[in-house]
Chains A and B, each alone.
Chain A
Amino acid sequence: MRNFFLNDRFKQLLIRLVLVAIPTMVIGFITLRFVNFSYTALNTGIAGQTLYFSLGLLLAYSLYFYRARWVVSLFILWIIYLLFQRFISRLPGEFDVFYATARFQLYSTLFIIGWMFGLLLVKIRWAHFILFGLLAVVTLVAVSDTLDISLSYILAHLAPVVVYGLYMLFLSPVLTERIELSFKKSGRFLIRITLFVLLVLLALFITESLFSGNLKAVEKELAARGAKGKNGKGSNKDNYDDRNGLMEKTDDGYRLKDTMRVNSKMSSSDKLMFCARLDNYFPDGSPAPLYFVYHYLTRYDPAKESFTRDVGVPSFDELEVDPARLPMYYSFTDTSIIRKSMADKFRKVTEASVYLSENTWKHAVLSPSSAFHIQTIPVEKDFQKTFLSAYKTYSFTSELNNAYFVYNISASPMLEKIQEQRYDELRKIKNYNKINSEVLSYYTEYPTGALYDSIAKLAFRLSSKKARPLDKVLAVRDFFLRKNENGKRIFRYSLQAGALDDPNIPSSKMLYNFLFKTHTGYCTYYAGASLFMLRALGVPTRFTTGFATINRGDKNKGWYWFYASQAHAWTQVYFPEYGWMDFDMTIGNEEQQGAPKPDGTPPLPPPEPWLVLSARTESIDLTKKQMVASFKNLIFENTTYQLNKIFTRPVDASLCRVLYNKRDTTLAAIKPGDSLIIVSYKDEARHTPRPQPGVAIETQVENFPSPVIADEIHIRGKEKQAGKKEIGKKKNQEPEKKITLKEIAWVAGITVGSFLLLMLLFPLLYLLYRLLRLAFASKGSARADQLYRATLYRLHMLGMERETETPLEYAEKKIDPVLSADFSGFMRTYLRLKYAPGKLTEEDQQQISGLAKRIGPAIRQRNGFFKRLLNYFNVVRAIRYFQQPSETENPTV
């Protein structure tokens, strides 16, 4: 008996394993496979992952089916863990341990997930709802991380999960051993369906909210691209600049103005603009900050009384390139800047990496003065939220330059010594006789007018006995540092400059007021005033906008953080042979102490690539994470080459990071035909070829490892969308976004709608099936069988439901009194055919065909066509047909 019990239980377990566990394993496999496509982190083989998941599921399911307890689960997991610990300690290498541990973590997580799934399925009644929800959310998150979100894509990946949910939904009533079905029960069934629909809607809602974030980001990117056209001249329609001082608001953040006029107010903001790593140090190793230049404003427009940028200036040394348009790892070098630098003493090349936040204008180069080379670099994944893009620049800087001149005047003896050295060096310049007269006259151009004359007079008075340019500069500086009889500074720094004045007063007037009356101003006042004074003295000077660099601490040496309030203007003075020297005359703000915000965590520097391919996808295999790419352009060890023919190489993308619009996406986003930038890092563990001088690049490319291991893939352009974008650029984007949302709604609608429709049509379809079976049934007992089934179903759907009666009782008590079809007569014949040994007689044949003839008219007579049709839409009733009848009460006892 006991044995039988076990056997019976075991049989039940087997049935459930087939019906429940295997579908769950399959859906687990599908989900894992999809997640593997989407995220590169998991990469230890789908087979292994599924195996561990299934193992957990099966073990837990079987164990709990035999009524094991939680304790058992903990115990077993603990034992597995102990065994593994022992196994790990025996491994020889450190790397092995790491690898095994990482794998163990993944596998054990999957195992535990499988375990939980199994446990839920056995123990909790509506577990499949939980599982369905979980799987749907996982799939949807993975779907939403993909770029080309389309109806078919969502459907294709969500369909298995939905099918699983439906399957479990309809399976579960069969599985519960005994079902007390009544109207109460069908009510519960309705609740179940409602719950299911709600879950689908919830999942879709979650997707939508996930999408909307992505869409916003995409929108922003596109807007940035669109705004590019506006750049060029300071012709922005709104005069936002009046309030914002140095900065103006653009579509994608703030930028320093191309035109600068002195204004009375300046707003400060502690928005993070960018952060930078500057590879510039003093000989003793302490960091030497440099101001970051945005633009040089060289020309003074007396009519508008403003400083403007002039591209036609002699020896123009700004790097004119839009970093946002440079493909990843591509560089741009302007050799003319090297030529025009007009400096040969103490010149050095300084490297700076700039990480731009979303507040910053991305279309101009921010760098220490005179950048001549720029290369775009990726932002490390964890910092993508803070920094949208990054680039690396190489600039010509002078060793004599640093951010500690006036503004940051310090009591540090070291810094003062450096300043003294700088002055000693610059004092060697006696005059500007040797330099190009065109340059000299351009940079010393001085407007005419009473106010300008008085400024010039002041300048001459200050430097009456000074002959050398440096002494003149220092005289101006000393003027701003003057103190009154009480030992207090005369000039003060204030953002609320010129409170006496009307903001509309022309800036020359304001500068005059600043110099002679108020003595209060911010950087543009100091810079403007000193520019006029120096130019009056015949010293070539230019107005520079950019960011003041503040070294707030030695925690991250060489890293500087730039907030909006650090936007700055200062003057650069030209010294022959030494080049342009920063001279910041602005008085330190004594009221404001310390930085508004501390430094953040610097982003990790990107790894060095040895190879960057500008390639086109030929084919891609998502399962193996391999692709074939063809390329003609490449960067090999920082040198750009163009090959004489197109090369095709397999690329191993199993470990790589995929980015589109500088945002992480999945490998599945890559489609054949896309143009990509494929990056491979230098790695000690890998064989990377070294450049061989004198060998043709084509030959070197031939010797590249195959497949090329990709570490980063940047999608430059999608083949399909390329055409579309070129035509409509910005206009196209709005409807596109809406379509996506609509598509989601469509998916929801179609899923729910088709589900409901199927539910609704199900009774009719089943009737059709039954009648077809009847029509094709051969004569005799098979026909009797089909007739029996079809009739039972039709009568059931007519509203005469068989409850706990046997079919014969049903025929006698429920059908025959109502329908004149002698159903019980047929039933008796049928039962005899079913249970008695005899042969089919002629009489039986007649009885069977008799019912077949009688039942149709009888049913029709009872109900009209529409009523009958309506009956077949009673889904709940149809479901009851397939469920077991509820138990009867014992009449005795």
Chain B
Amino acid sequence: MTDSLSKLKTLTANIETIIRGKPQEIKYVVTALLARGHILLEDNPGAGKTVLAKTLAQSISEGTADFHSAQGGVAFKRIQFTPDLLPMDLIGSHIYDETKKDFVFKKGPLFTHVLLADEINRASPKVQSALLECMAENQISAGDTTFQLDPFFFTIATQNPIEMEGTYPLPAAQLDRFYMKISFGYVSEEVELDIYQNYLTINNGKNTIKQVLAYNDIIHLQQEAEKVYIHPELIKSVVHIVQGTRHHQEIALGCSTRGGIIFIKCLKAWALVNQRDYVIEDDLRALAQPVLHHRLIFRNREASRTALNQIVDQEVNKLSKMGIQSKK
């Protein structure tokens, strides 16, 4: 336990050497990883999304190791999504093999452990939906064959804000597959100054970033995350929050049950990332926004800013006023 906690600490510390001033966002990404989920980073270009994704991947893999050859290692692939990308570019295609006189399946870049899907919303919906299956089912179907992916399949997708030109908004179903959607935002003045002063070192560091965790460590951490204790009252609160999103007047589409399960998974992982083996009320506050917000459809912009927080604040306040329950 303490061993894995210290490993987690090294992981975040490792990433922080490259990504400055964003400890919260780094934790979110690691949480998604430990919860066996996928994460969507949304921000303007140049905020460091891709760098974060790459750094994380590098921290847990041996560079661009091959999916199959890297036993005990973590394979990392990056796909730059463009409007003319086709599904087969991701999945792979059957290619005629002269020697075997047969069509053989040439695996695409999806066959990996860590996938960085860069600017996912610039690809056409067809391509986006191809991602859907592997993200949800952890498998890839090509023609009549179905390939099982490694249980460790982690997608970090980045996207530009929908308002920008040349983007295809992700369908709701696909958004729901992402455990979290976080936005980076700009760093503070001091951090930015620090970045400008040290951009050379940071840049060099990008290339020389060390692998601190191995494949097995991650699998172990994921198992640890599942063991994190969540108090029944907190589960009740999750239920209330999920129900609350369905009954709120300003929310057109509430959270699904899957969303609720994901929320609990993320809560546990988040607790672990924060060096705890139990979930506390603060976690609800910290995670409600990244985990739940993108699953909801709001009636207006005002509501999208306030409605979810209303529900969560109420719940958290209720919890903060609850006394210590007698232990059985």
The 8 closest A-B pairs by CB, nearest first: A836-B278, A835-B231, A890-B305, A781-B324, A831-B280, A887-B310, A806-B282, A785-B323
Q: A889-B306, A892-B289 are in contact. Are A835 and B279 (CB under 8 A)?
A: yes
| Partner-binding segment picked from B72-80, B86-94, B311-319 | B311-319
B304-A890 in contact (CB<8A)? yes
Contact with B along A866-893 (1 / 0, CB 8 A): 0000000000000000001101111111
Given known pairs A781-B324, A785-B323, the reply for A835 and B278 (CB within 8 Å) is yes
- Minimum Cβ distance to chain B for residue A852 (Å): 16
Minimum C-beta distance from A815 to chain B (A) = 14
Chain A residues in 8 Å Cβ range of B278: 832, 835-837
A885-B313 in contact (CB<8A): yes
Best-surrounded residue of B230, B277, B308, B323 (most CB of chain A within 10 A)? B323
Whether, in the assembled complex, B54 has its beta carbon less than 8 Å from a beta carbon of chain A, the answer is no
B17 at the interface (CB under 8 A from A): no
Residues B257-311 near A (CB distance < 8 A): 276-282, 285, 289-290, 293, 304-306, 308-310
Instruction: Decide: B320 and A807 in contact? CB cutoff 8 A.
Output: yes
Tell me if B305 and A889 are in contact (CB < 8 A): yes
- Chain B at the A interface: mostly helix, strand, loop or mixed? helix
26 contacts between A and B (CB under 8 A): A1-B246, A178-B310, A178-B314, A782-B324, A804-B313, A807-B281, A830-B324, A832-B280, A834-B231, A835-B279, A835-B280, A836-B276, A836-B278, A837-B327, A839-B327, A884-B317, A888-B313, A889-B306, A889-B309, A890-B289, A890-B309, A891-B289, A892-B290, A892-B293, A893-B304, A893-B305
Instruction: Tell whether, in the assembled complex, residue A784 and residue B324 are in contact, meaning their CB atoms are under 8 Å apart.
Output: yes
Cβ-based interface call for A75 (8 A): no
Residues facing B in A114-137 (CB within 8 A) are: none
Report, as a range, how many residues of chain A touch the other chain: 20 to 34
Task: Assess whether A155 is interfacial by the CB under 8 Å rule.
Answer: no
Distance, CA A409 to CA B113, complexed state (A): 132
> A816 at the A/B interface (Cβ < 8 Å)?
no
* CB-based contact A5/B247 at 8 Å: yes
Q: How far is the CB of B13 from chain A (nearest CB, A)?
A: 20
Q: Beyond the given A836-B278, A887-B310, please list 10 additional residue pairs across the A-B interface where CB-CB is below 8 A.
A: A8-B247, A806-B281, A832-B276, A884-B317, A885-B317, A888-B313, A892-B185, A893-B293, A893-B304, A893-B305
Chain B contacts of A804 at CB under 8 A?
A: 309, 313
A809 to B284, CA, bound (A): 13
A95 beta carbon closer than 8 Å to chain B: no
Q: How far is the CB of A185 from chain B (nearest CB, A)?
A: 15
Residues of A within 8 A of B (CB): 1, 4-5, 8, 178, 781-782, 784-785, 789, 804, 806-809, 830-837, 839, 884-885, 887-893
Report the separation of the CA atoms of residues A777 and B60 in the bound assembly, to the nearest whole angstrom.
Answer: 50
- Answer yes or no: B96 CB below 8 A from chain A CBs: no
Contact B313 A887 (CB under 8 A): yes
Establish whether residues A888 and B309, one from each chain, have CB atoms under 8 Å apart when the complex forms. Answer: yes
Judge if B183 is at the interface, Cβ distance under 8 Å. yes
Chain A residues with Cβ below 8 Å from B279 are 835
Q: A178-B314, A890-B309 are in contact. Are A834 and B324 (CB under 8 A)?
A: yes
B282 touches A809 (CB 8 A): yes
* Interface residue? B234 (CB, 8 A): yes
Residues of A within 8 A of B308 (CB): 890
Interfacial chain A residues near B246, Cβ < 8 Å: 1
List chain A residues, Cβ under 8 A from B82. none
B179 CB to closest chain A CB, in angstroms?
A: 16
What distance in Å separates the Cβ of B102 from its nearest Cβ neighbour in chain A? 51
B248 to chain A minimum Cβ distance, whole angstroms, is 10
Most buried by A among B277, B280, B322, B323: B280
Residues of A within 8 A of B44 (CB): none
CA distance A262 to B168 in the complex (A): 118
Contacts of B229 in A (CB 8 A): 835-837
